[in-house]
Amino acid sequence: MNAQKALVVLLALTISISAFAAPNSYEIKPESISYQQLLADSIAQHKNNSKFDEVEEALRLINANTSQLAPAQIITAIKGNLPTIDANAKIRVLPEMREALILKGDQYNRLAAAVAPVLKLYQVEGRVFPLLYRSQQPVAALIYPNALVFSTRQMDILNDNELAALAAHELPHLIANPLFRKAIDDKDKSAIRTIEFFCDATAAATLEMLQKNPHCLIDALYKTEQILELEYSATDSSGEAHPPLGQRDRLNKAMTKQFTLIAQATSK
The count of structural domains within the chain is 1
Q: What's the domain range around 211?
A: 23-267
Does 11 fall in a domain? Answer: no
pLDDT band at 19; cut points 50, 70, 90: very low
Asked whether residue 132 is assigned to any structural domain, the reply reads: yes
Whether 43 is in a domain gets the answer: yes
Alpha carbon distance 257, 42 (integer Å): 24
Domain membership of residue 7 (yes or no) is no
Rounded Cα distance, 78 and 174, in Å: 10
Alpha-carbon gap, residue 103 to 187, rounded angstroms:
34
DSSP 125: B
pTM (predicted TM-score): 0.88
Beta bridge partners of 150: 132, 140
Domain contains 9: no
Whether residue 14 is contained in a domain is answered as no
The predicted model gives 184-192 an average pLDDT of 93
Does any domain span residue 31? yes
For residues 174 and 142, give the distance between their C-alpha atoms in angstroms, rounded to a whole number. Answer: 8
- Residue pair 24/67 in contact (Cβ under 8 Å)? The answer is yes
Cis preceding-peptide flag for 145 (omega within 30 of 0) = yes
In a domain, 148, yes or no: yes
Q: Measured over all CA atoms, what is the biggest interatomic distance in the chain, rounded to whole angstroms?
A: 85
Strand pairing report for 129-133 and 147-151: parallel
> 130-136 — which CB contacts under 8 Å span 24+ positions?
130/167, 131/91, 131/93, 131/101, 131/103, 132/101, 132/102, 132/103, 132/107, 132/108, 133/97, 133/100, 133/101, 133/102, 134/100, 134/102, 135/100
89-118 pLDDT, tens digit per residue, is 999 998 889 999 999 999 999 999 999 999
117-173 pLDDT tens trace: 999 999 999 999 999 999 999 999 999 999 999 999 999 999 999 999 999 999 999
- Find out whether 135 and 101 touch, Cβ atoms under 8 Å: no
